[in-house]
Every structure is written in structure tokens, then in C-alpha cells.
Amino acid sequence: MMPVLSVSGLTASYRKNKVLNDVRFDVQPGTLTSIVGPNGAGKSTLLKVMLDLHPRLSGSVRFFGKDYSKAKSRIGYVPQRGSVDWDFPTNALDVVMMGLYGKIGWLKRPKRMHRDLAMGALEEMGMAAFADRQISQLSGGQQQRVFLARALVQDADLYFLDEPLAGVDAATERAIMDTLKVLKNKGRTVMVVHHDLQTVEDYFDQVLMLSRSVVAHGATAETFTRENIFRTYGGTLRWMGEKLG
């Protein structure tokens, strides 16, 4: 099967430090992959570089066999919650509708249909009651669900999520993971930057272990081994040992 995402020789730097070095991997359709690695391993940068939000020094990234610019409409991106200003004067429904701005087109106002789509996505995330709520009045978990709802209305084939489970409550974590599994079962492909190693095996069928370059990549059951964790996290393993028991 043709991979939905094919990365090869990807190299990028951040403030003169090389954060990604010769990253290469392929992602098959209908998979749910977690991207794990220590702080500074380049997880977020990898997403940004693939999506042309951060410059790359070399390498190639192909989506559905095409360049990013030609595949944009099939790709959904959920940035870290902290990357936006939640005091912005707008409400939850409006934020979700932003996911449709690409489809609505220039100079046009959102129509009833778009409103209904956004409402439906909020409902799916259990947030319909908060549609009119100003976004600063939402809890962290609710804000993350709004972001997820926004990704849902984009109706993409390939999703990238940057730490969607960071700092959210248990109910939100369940709601998000259920949603991602539904997407996967519909044949969509999902890649998630993830920090909680304890849940990798429960939540994801694939794992990409990153430490500036790809340490290991494959089915979680075979890939997420003590040895690979050690190779990925290196010196920070003492802390890891406590975590994994």
C-alpha cells in the first residue's frame, strides 16, 4: 500500500542547533501513531517542519505521494494548546468554525451549513453546551476538546496532533482517545506527539521513537521495548525506570 506520509533525509535546526538529523519513516494509512522522545528530541519541530511551519535544511516529505502544498486540504493539524491566546475575544463555536475557513473561501461568510457542521463536531466532543462560552472561560480539557472538534470539521485524511493529552482531565483524555480511534476505524491516519509513556501501549498501535533521528518505528507491541526506550531516552532512563516499574 502506498504510504500516506513518506519522510526521508529530513534535517532541520532551531537557533543554529540541529534538532532533526536525517529523519526517515513511512506511515501507512489507517494507523494511530504516537511520537515519543525526550524533551528536545524534536517532536514538535518534526510536525512543524513537515507542515512547512518551520524551515527544513534538507530532505523530502511526501503526503499521499504529493508535496505538502498540493495535499494541504487533506491534512489536519492541532497545535499545542498553549500556542494560542485563550483570552482572544471569541467563543467555542467560532473557534471550531475556523477549521472550515479554508473550505468557505475568501470574502464569504460562514453559512448555516458550516454552523451546523461545527455544532455537530462540538457535540461529538461533548461540548455542545459550551458553544457560546467565551474560550477563556473553558477549562484546559474543554479547550483541548474545542481544538479536537475544530480538527474534526476539517474532515482530513491525515491528522497531526501536538500533545493533545498534556494537562487535561481524565474525562477529556478518554473523549479524545475515543475520537481518535473512531477516526482510525474510518481509515484516517493519525499521528500524535505524546509524553506519557505509560499509556503508549494502551492507546496507539504504532510508535515512532524519536531522538533527533528515528530510533525505532513500528507496531507498538514489537517496537516499544525496554531496549528501545533506553536507546531513545538514554541518560534520563533512571526516571524512566521508576515510571515503567
- Of residues 101-120, those binding other proteins (CB under 8 A): 101-102, 104, 106-107, 109-110
Our finding on whether 150 is near other proteins (CB under 8 A) is yes
β-pair type (5-14, 17-27): antiparallel
Our finding on whether 82 is near other proteins (CB under 8 A) is no
Q: Report helix angle 226-233 to 237-244, nearest 10.
A: 150
| Smallest separation, CB 155 to other proteins (Å) | 12
Nearest to 151 by CA among 131, 129, 180: 180
Identified binder of other proteins from the candidate list 24, 72, 74, 181, rule CB under 8 A:
72
Distance in angstroms (rounded) separating the CA atoms of residues 214 and 208: 7
* Span interacting with other proteins, options 82-90, 185-193, 212-220, 234-242, rule CB under 8 A: 82-90
**Grid cell in block for residue 217:** 518505528
**Site map (CB under 8 A) of other proteins, residues 84-103, x = contact:** xx--xxxx--xx--xx-xx-
The answer to whether the beta carbons of residues 122 and 92 sit under 8 Å apart is: yes
Kind and range of the H or E element at 210?
strand 206-211
User: What is the SS3 assignment for 81?
Assistant: helix
- Angle (CA) 45-150-207 rounded to 5° is 45
The answer to whether the beta carbons of residues 138 and 130 sit under 8 Å apart is: yes
**Site map (CB under 8 A) of other proteins, residues 169-208, x = contact:** ----------------------------------------
Our finding on whether 79 is near other proteins (CB under 8 A) is yes
- Of residues 9-38, those binding other proteins (CB under 8 A): 15-16
Judged by beta carbon, residue 65 or residue 102, the one nearer other proteins is 102
Question: Is 175 exposed, middle or buried (CB count within 10 Å of its CB: 0-12, 13-18, 19+)?
Answer: buried
| Smallest separation, CB 77 to other proteins (Å) | 4
| Smallest separation, CB 162 to other proteins (Å) | 9
Where do contacts with other proteins occur on this chain (CB under 8 A)? 15-16, 48, 51-53, 72-73, 75-77, 79, 83-85, 88-91, 94-95, 98-99, 101-102, 104, 106-107, 109-110, 134, 136, 150, 154
